[in-house]
Amino acid sequence: MTSRKRFLLATVPSLSGHRVLRYVRHFTRGLLVCFPLSGKITAEEAKKSSYLNIVGLVGSIDNDFCGTDMTIGTDSALHRIIEIVDAITTTAQSHQRTFVLEVMGRHCGYLALVTSLSCGADWVFIPECPPDDDWEDHLCRRLSETRTRGSRLNIIIVAEGAIDKDGKPITSEDIKNLVVKRLGYDTRVTVLGHVQRGGTPSAFDRILGSRMGVEAVMALLEGTPDTPACVVSLSGNQAVRLPLMECVQVTKEVTKAMNEKKFDEAMKLRGRSFMNNWEVYKLLAHVRPPVSKTGLHTVAVMNVGAPAAGMNAAVRSTVRIGLIQGNRVLVVHDGFEGLAKGQIEEAGWSYVGGWIGQGGSKLGTKRTLPKKNLEQISANITKFNIQGLVIIGGFEAYTGGLELMEGRKQFDELCIPFVVIPATVSNNVPGSDFSVGADTALNTICTTCDRIKQSAAGTKRRVFIIETMGGYCGYLATMAGLAAGADAAYIFEEPFTIRDLQANVEHLVQKMKTTVKRGLVLRNEKSNENYTTDFIFNLYSEEGKGIFDSRKNVLGHMQQGGSPTPFDRNFATKMGAKAMHWMTGKIKESYRNGRIFANTPDSGCVLGMRKRALVFQPVTELKDQTDFEHRIPKEQWWLKLRPILKILAKYEIDLDTSEHAHLEHISRKRSGEAPV
């Protein structure tokens, strides 16, 4: 770069776009006057810097800024809320109570809406969509039906800005008094308040902040005098640049629409992601499944591979959406092995009650592949009249789908539609940027790393080597390293030598001379068959003698356990809903001569997040993108983030800036296919 650019970093809370522009411009003009006078820069440098490029990053727990799917801080706030909701749920069940929880969101109901999706709430009140005039009757009927089906608790989520259609506030106390008066239920109110703003940031927020920060710097480096002020936003899994004033204008239009009681318009202006959340919530919370199932389709749901947090949420969503559509839904225990043995039963609405917040797999998982049992599987497909199959699992689910496709040549019974929902902590399923369960595992690793680093604060001069799961996939090691501030992360996809290990040791030796006298190194479990965790520990111990001491931790299967994070619950719920909608349409499309016959490549798909959208991709088309020997995709998006990890660890490396993002427009983003 021939000339240097000077950056001004400003944190401006609770200001609109216009005020941000005014604030930064006035401040910068003051600097351009003062610096030449003080001799810090020359008059010529001041003249060259007379224009100002502005790039914004939105930090808000309310997620109330239009143009981005998620603002920095929202996921952490959801973590705080869900932790409290889960704790309250156990109390509500034991005492058979109704709880009304008030969450933040004066002008935006995102926190309330996603919380409701993530905990299976009976009702949610948000300012963008006031309830109908007779909502009191609907609410009481809903609570009564839930109790009739055997539930021992009711959860109602209220955004602090909730209103009715006349603009009158609906408070948590109003709802409590209504439930007590009409139904006589023991009801409690919990106002979460500013606890939602506190606590340790989630892994998602740490990584989001780092990614957005890098993109903001790139935008400034590429800026010219004609470049308008922009804001770096998240669209699906992609960082995009949008004009700041367009986003501010749309955000103002939301407020205006709500003030004018044009609530449908306000919902649309919030964006497709917000609308998707609302539509899925309405289906699961307010639509009654039909009583009669005569002549309807039969869909089976199963888990395959290893347990992953969020699998149960995906099963719950799949089962209930299937029932709402009028299908007969079966659940298969113990994966393909259970399908071969006939371990199948019908699931009703209450069968999956309370599953959304439970980790692991209630249906049971096995790594067994179908190839050796195709005859028995075909027989049971006929016996139970299975017309579609939803497979929730990891790499075994994907390879099992390929074997089912191959088996169609031999068994016509296998010619039924099936869809794979990626669910594995390793995040190694081709065709999807994210897998259900990976976010929970990532947060578990980050929490552990935080505690380990804290333990070293008093000891000083200590380096921790931590082994993560993932098979040959380095996703967990890389992303946890980025989120936890690791000094190095060793993975299979990026081969390393003894010289690299030595360079890392020397880097840590220099680090011990600074005020930060601790180190953190992550190693993926199969990063190298010779440079094992024990080898790296012994190397660091030997080379660090007299300078630092080393400790090692193998996290093991604790990474697969625990309650799913809000991201995994929400992701799994929407994946299950989308998969079942696709399945119902594909069954109707494949109905021929009185039976289901699906033998086209697009009748067996993986449902995955690819950049900005959820897409269905035929498993046969993904074969060329797969390294079957190491059970990983040949190309992985997160590898481009590894240089950021090294830069933040203060290594002298170059960042690839060959890819340039272009300034988009918010109207174009909103019109695209709905992201998660």
Q: Do residues 328 and 299 make contact, with C-beta atoms less than 8 angstroms apart?
A: yes
Closest CA to 299 of 422, 405, 391, 410: 391
Angle between helices 374-383 and 395-407 (to 10 degrees): 80
Greater pLDDT, 654 or 560: 560
Q: What mean pLDDT do residues 152-169 have?
A: 92
HSE-CB at 181 with a 13 A cutoff on CA atoms is 9
Strand 418-422: give its sheet, edge to edge. 344-346, 328-332, 298-304, 388-393, 418-422, 604-610, 613-618
pLDDT at 676: 41
Res 290 pLDDT > 90: no
Q: Do residues 451 and 551 make contact, with C-beta atoms less than 8 angstroms apart?
A: no
Q: What mean pLDDT do residues 268-292 have?
A: 86
Q: Which of 148-162, 486-500, 645-659 has the highest mean pLDDT?
A: 486-500
* pLDDT, tens digit, 9 for 90 and up, residues 390-404: 999 999 999 999 999
- DSSP SS3 for 421: strand
Cα 326 to chain centroid, rounded: 29
Closest CA to 306 of 116, 461, 435: 435
Query: What distance separates the 2 farthest-apart alpha carbons in the chain?
Result: 88
* pLDDT, tens digit, 9 for 90 and up, residues 273-284: 899 999 999 999
Q: Which two tokens stand for residue 545?
A: 């003698």
Model confidence band, residue 40 (pLDDT cutoffs 50, 70, 90): low
HSE-CB at 205 with a 13 A cutoff on CA atoms is 21
Q: Do residues 202 and 570 make contact, with C-beta atoms less than 8 angstroms apart?
A: no
pLDDT at 654: 75
pLDDT at 478: 97
Q: Do residues 477 and 489 make contact, with C-beta atoms less than 8 angstroms apart?
A: yes
- Which of the residue ranges 12-21, 49-58, 218-227 would you say has the lowest mean pLDDT? 12-21
DSSP letter for 663, please: B
Res 9 pLDDT > 90: no
Q: What mean pLDDT do residues 27-33 have?
A: 58
Q: E strands along 244-334, which residues?
A: 298-304, 328-332
Amino acid identity of residue 347, one-letter, is A
Model confidence band, residue 665 (pLDDT cutoffs 50, 70, 90): confident
Q: Which two tokens stand for residue 3?
A: 């000339």
Q: Which of 23-27, 47-51, 199-203 has the highest mean pLDDT?
A: 199-203
- Which of the residue ranges 46-50, 370-374, 503-507, 564-568 would you say has the lowest mean pLDDT? 46-50
Model confidence band, residue 42 (pLDDT cutoffs 50, 70, 90): confident
- DSSP SS3 for 62: coil
Burial class (CB in 10 A: 0-12, 13-18, 19+), 37: exposed
* pLDDT, tens digit, 9 for 90 and up, residues 73-95: 999 999 999 999 999 888 777 77
pLDDT at 454: 82
Residues 189-192: contacts with CB within 8 Å, 24+ apart? 189/99, 189/100, 189/101, 189/102, 190/84, 190/88, 190/99, 190/100, 190/101, 190/102, 191/101, 191/102, 192/80, 192/81, 192/84, 192/101, 192/102, 192/103, 192/104
pTM across the whole model: 0.92
Closest CA to 215 of 657, 642, 668, 635: 657
Write the CA distances from 533 to 362, 465, 524, 540, integer angstroms: 33, 7, 9, 11
Question: Which of 62, 205, 487, 568 is flagged as catalytic?
Answer: 62
* pLDDT, tens digit, 9 for 90 and up, residues 414-454: 999 999 999 999 999 999 999 999 999 999 999 999 998 88
Domains of the chain: residue spans and CATH:
7-70+201-260 (3.40.50.450), 74-197 (3.40.50.460), 293-436+564-633 (3.40.50.450), 449-560 (3.40.50.460)
- Which of the residue ranges 46-60, 323-337, 408-422 would you say has the lowest mean pLDDT? 46-60
* pLDDT, tens digit, 9 for 90 and up, residues 471-489: 999 999 999 999 999 999 9
Burial class (CB in 10 A: 0-12, 13-18, 19+), 125: buried
Q: What percentage of the chain has pLDDT greater than the value 70?
A: 90
Burial class (CB in 10 A: 0-12, 13-18, 19+), 146: buried
Greater pLDDT, 633 or 56: 633
pLDDT at 131: 92
The phi, psi pair for 105, rounded to 5°, reads 135, 70
Return all residues near 223 (Cβ < 8 A) that are at least 6 apart.
Answer: 53, 55
Res 19 pLDDT > 80: no
Q: What percentage of the chain has pLDDT greater than the value 90?
A: 68
pLDDT at 673: 42
Task: Assess whether 62 carries a catalytic annotation.
Answer: yes
**Average confidence score pLDDT of the chain:** 89
Greater pLDDT, 669 or 14: 14
pLDDT at 595: 86
Res 668 pLDDT > 60: no
Report how far apart the first and last C-alpha atoms of the chain are (Å, whole number): 38
Closest CA to 661 of 241, 245, 244: 241
